[in-house]
Structure 1
Amino acid sequence: MALTTPDLSGSTAFITGTTRGIGKRLALALADCGCNIVSTGKTTDDDDTDLAGTIEQTAREVRERGVESLALELNLRDEDRVEAVVEESIDHFGEVDIVINNASAIQLANVADVPANRFDLLTDVNVRGTHLVAHAFADHLAELDEAWLLSNSPPVTTDRSPGKAPYAWSKLGMSFITLSLAEELAGTGVGCNTFWPVTAIDTRATRYFGLGTEDDWRSPEIVSDAVCQILARDPSECTGNSFYDEELLREAGVTEFSAYNLTEGDPAPMSARMFDSSFQREP
């Protein structure tokens, strides 16, 4: 069954962390649906770095799809910069009706092995950064007829996350903020939801931290396809949910996921569903 492709013509999405990985894939997928994109992140064309991908490169690829894109350098730990970038985005496009908190710091380690400065980084980027972006956009989104605020973070049902507790706490904090906003913005037409993969996604962080092997991984397209299924819904009715990518795609009629796998065969049960034990994949 063909997936639903939302018509996002005239919409503008503000996405954090679009230089590579899931964030970039989201930007390109939404652009394919006709959405303008605000491409944000810390890596720019001017940086002398070995990291692949920049906010400008993503913006150029977005424009090649026939829509408009604005590339803005953004450090989520800088409150003033967050507010300035949000203001510039709204001024440039008139309105921003899709906000996706995707950027995250990652550190997978036991509590004893995570020093205070790394814990602070997780908190500042993941929880505080999500709060700053949501805080800066909340009033604007509430004034629109329809709008979305989504976060790349897990359901708030968790085990005790041995070996991952600081990171797990910071990602769950993103979910708490997003799902609380569903209540705070109830009746305004803003759909606030989280999305999360059931298997590891092939990103630079996945490879750097050794989350399983390629046999366990899927491409970022599975996440962007799932997010498009959210955006095809009515935000006034679809809010306060924590979605898994497979769950969304199965509801859309997908029964075969091999196209997303990096290697042949099914991925092992969740290597990147890092702290949730509530989801059971359907046979």
Structure 2
Amino acid sequence: MEEPDLEGSTAFITGTTRGIGKEIALALAENGCNIVSTGKTVDDSESDLEGTIHKTAEACREKGVEAHAIQLDVRDPENVHSSVEEAIDEFGEVDTVINNASAIQIANVKQLPADRFDLMTEVNVRGTYLVNRAFLPHLKEIGGGWILSNSPPVNTDRSPGKAAYAWSKMGMSFVTLSLDGELARHDIGCNTFWPLTAIDTRATRYFGLGTEDDWREPRIVADAVLEILKRDPAECSGNSFYTEELLREAGVEDFSEYNVVEGSDPDPMSAVMFDPDFESEDVIRDSFDG
């Protein structure tokens, strides 16, 4: 695939301590983009989970770009506002906003306590809303840029067994895609991206979402984000992309390099989670041939 030239760009990415967020940060840095690494974890010395916003920032600097770490709780409006201001003060311009931070719990309505519902709603929907809203004046001032969210297409009106999580993730998409209409004259590309398969992350393993045979590596999502950033935000907006769709358009024919287990054949678990009829669509045949 042809790599984008992101020299001179700066991306503000939420949830970069590990997993998909970190992989996106590293991929953008590899292509010359300065990185604002944000999240809640600043010290992992007493945790069984390795990763901090500072470690991600340092890994990005090792790729030759500037990186700045900011501790951020996307649920806190004042923290969001001050973090956005700090990022702009540090780099002068921030032209790419990527909403990746997300809370997850897979449970039916009876099993899920109200406080967990509130957490997913506050982190996923409200957090995306607050971060996007805080950046709007700046993106308008600099004459365009990107608002991207790691969230699925809104293709269903129900999700038995996971209603709260599905509602919160589709809410991220709803907020992001609504901005396409609100910002039509400002050359700001508002899009979402989502993998067809489950991705190997801490959450996927913790909640037992299949086995390693069902998973692809976070790199597939990062590569898809790079494909979006190769486009013109003035012309690429209002889309809900599947990662495999983007990569197939870029010339990828064999997706096995992204599989966690060599020789496995992952099912489209992530797509079906939000669209039970997905298997009947042409994209599933196109993206999984071979």
Return 187-196 or 44-53, whichever deviates more: 44-53
Q: C-alpha separation between the residues in 1 aligned to 2:231 and 2:142?
A: 16
Judge conservation of contact 2:44–2:52 (CA < 8 Å) in 1. Answer: no
Return 254-263 or 48-57, whichever deviates more: 48-57
Match of 1:219 in 2: 217
Q: C-alpha separation between the residues in 1 aligned to 2:142 and 2:4?
A: 18
Q: Out of 98, 101, 113, which is 2:99 matched to? A: 101
Root-mean-square deviation over aligned CA pairs: 1.2
Q: Out of 175, 178, 184, which is 2:176 matched to? A: 178
Q: Secondary structure at the match of 2:110?
A: helix
Judge conservation of contact 1:191–1:240 (CA < 8 Å) in 2. Answer: yes
**Cα distance 1:162–1:267, how it changes in 2: closer, same or farther (>3 A)?**
farther
Q: Does 1:116 align with 2:107?
A: no
Q: Does 1:15 align with 2:2?
A: no
Judge conservation of contact 1:144–1:189 (CA < 8 Å) in 2. Answer: no
Greater RCO, 1 or 2 (C-alpha within 8 Å, sep 6+) = 1
Q: Out of 154, 162, 165, which is 1:164 matched to? A: 162
Per-residue deviation at 1:52? 1.1
Return 140-149 or 211-220, whichever deviates more: 140-149
1:2-61 Cα deviation digits (max 9, x unpaired):
x12111101000000000000000000000010000000011137632221000000000
Per-residue deviation at 1:144? 2.0
Q: Does 1:141 align with 2:142?
A: no
Partner AA of 2:239 in structure 1 = N
Partner AA of 2:133 in structure 1 = H
Return 192-201 or 159-168, whichever deviates more: 159-168
Q: Secondary structure at the match of 2:98?
A: strand
Number of matched pairs:
281
Partner AA of 2:244 in structure 1 = E
Per-residue deviation at 1:266? 4.4
Partner AA of 1:182 in structure 2 = D
Identical columns (%): 67
Q: C-alpha separation between the residues in 2 aligned to 1:146 and 1:86?
A: 16
- 1:208-247 mapped onto 2 (5 Å cutoff): 208-247=206-245
Partner AA of 2:159 in structure 1 = S
Per-residue deviation at 1:162? 1.2
Match of 2:254 in 1: 256
Match of 1:68 in 2: 66
Q: Does 1:36 align with 2:27?
A: no
Partner AA of 1:137 in structure 2 = F
Match of 1:275 in 2: 274
Partner AA of 2:7 in structure 1 = S
Q: Secondary structure at the match of 2:84?
A: helix
1:208-241 Cα deviation digits (max 9, x unpaired):
0111010010000000001000000000000000
Match of 2:82 in 1: 84
Judge conservation of contact 2:154–2:274 (CA < 8 Å) in 1. Answer: no
Q: Gaps spanning 5+ residues in structure 1: where?
A: none
Judge conservation of contact 2:95–2:139 (CA < 8 Å) in 1. Answer: yes
Partner AA of 2:215 in structure 1 = W
Judge conservation of contact 1:25–1:220 (CA < 8 Å) in 2. Answer: yes
Query: After TM superposition, where is structure 1 displaced by more than 4 Å over at least 4 residues in a row?
Result: none
Judge conservation of contact 1:74–1:85 (CA < 8 Å) in 2. Answer: yes
Judge conservation of contact 1:199–1:267 (CA < 8 Å) in 2. Answer: no
Per-residue deviation at 1:101? 0.2
Per-residue deviation at 1:139? 1.4
1:122-145 Cα deviation digits (max 9, x unpaired):
000000000000110011112223
Judge conservation of contact 2:216–2:266 (CA < 8 Å) in 1. Answer: no
1:141-166 Cα deviation digits (max 9, x unpaired):
12223300000000011252111110
Partner AA of 1:230 in structure 2 = I
Q: C-alpha separation between the residues in 2 aligned to 1:210 and 1:66?
A: 37
Q: Gaps spanning 5+ residues in structure 2: where?
A: none
Q: C-alpha separation between the residues in 2 aligned to 1:125 and 1:160?
A: 21
Return 37-46 or 186-195, whichever deviates more: 37-46
Judge conservation of contact 1:211–1:272 (CA < 8 Å) in 2. Answer: no
